Amino acid sequence: MPQDHFRDAAPYSLLGGSGAGGRGVSRDSFSDMGSMGSNFYDLLRSKCPHLLPDFSGVVAEGGVLSEKIPRGTTILALKYKDGVIMAGDRMATEGYQVSHRHIEKIYRTDDFSAIAISGAAGPSIEMARLFQTEMEHYEKVEGEGLSLEGKANKLAQMIRQNLSAAIQGLVVIPIFAGYEEQKGEGRIFKYDLTGGRYEESEYHATGSGGKDARNTIKKLYRKDMERSEGVRVVLEALLDAAEEDVGTAGPDPVKGIYPSMKTITRERIKDVPEEEIKSIYEALIERRRSG
């Protein structure tokens, strides 16, 4: 299943009227959107339910989930002096096979927040993109954005809506993080498959290699780390996870594939340059090689 399938399936990409197998949106469908308030998910559910993610077709006869479902693996978030670092490896798996080697797992929500995805890749990417649109819609209707806590609560509601699919195996377990301008600090939120929302004060990692990544961070983490130290700790955690977990990809210098990483601070969201990630990985590997 090509990665383009997931990108093209984003709900907001269908609003032009040509997606979803020709079941586009007529101009009249949103003519009374003002009466629906600022909840974009409820708007779709009421006016255009065919645009909501529907993965019922991936369940095989007899209710057995198909093994051909790409799954995203390890993601993490870590607080440092100026905000939050979010990162994820680039591999998705189908059972014991590699599905994709350069999938994106960190998605910008707005200028000061992002969502990292793990679990069934299709539903996870759909949810991330629908969440992006939900935030944009809210801001346009209300004239201002939700608070960081409000965004975290909204994501919890969306995860709860996915519970029936999760029971069938299409689990979506994201991490949401952002910079709280009023408090001047980064915040990290984790979730369970029922939509339970919990805030972490320092760091969190999930996915197949999440436990291994957390064990590494636990040993190296300290409060008020500088950015450079935080990036190094994150990359070392992902490297350890790749060594212990078959579903987590390590760096691939031959193909030039490295983890994706973003920082979220008062200076907004920024990508950590690939050259910086490559340089730190080379230093980490050389240190382990030399003992």
Amino acid letter, residue 203: Y
Order of strands across the sheet that contains 260-265: 203-206, 75-80, 83-88, 260-265, 268-271
Q: List, in order, residues 6 or more apart from 69 with CB less than 8 Å away.
A: 58, 94, 120, 121, 122, 169, 170
Give CA–CA dist 122/6, Å, rounded: 6
Give CA–CA dist 139/104, Å, rounded: 25
Report the SS3 class of residue 111.
Answer: coil
Checking phi first, is residue 178 left (phi over 0); if not, alpha (psi -120 to 50) or beta? beta
Residue written as token pair 């973003």: 262
Q: If you ran DSSP here, which 8-state letter would residue 38 be given?
A: T
Decide: residue 96, CB within 10 A, 0-12 exposed, 13-18 middle, 19+ buried. exposed
Report the SS3 class of residue 32.
Answer: coil
Sign of CA dihedral 243, 118, 155, 177: positive
Helices and strands in the chain: count of H runs, count of E runs: 8, 14
Amino acid letter, residue 230: G
Report the SS3 class of residue 87.
Answer: strand
Q: Phi and psi at residue 161, in whole multiples of 5°?
A: -65, -20
Q: Which residues are catalytic?
A: 73
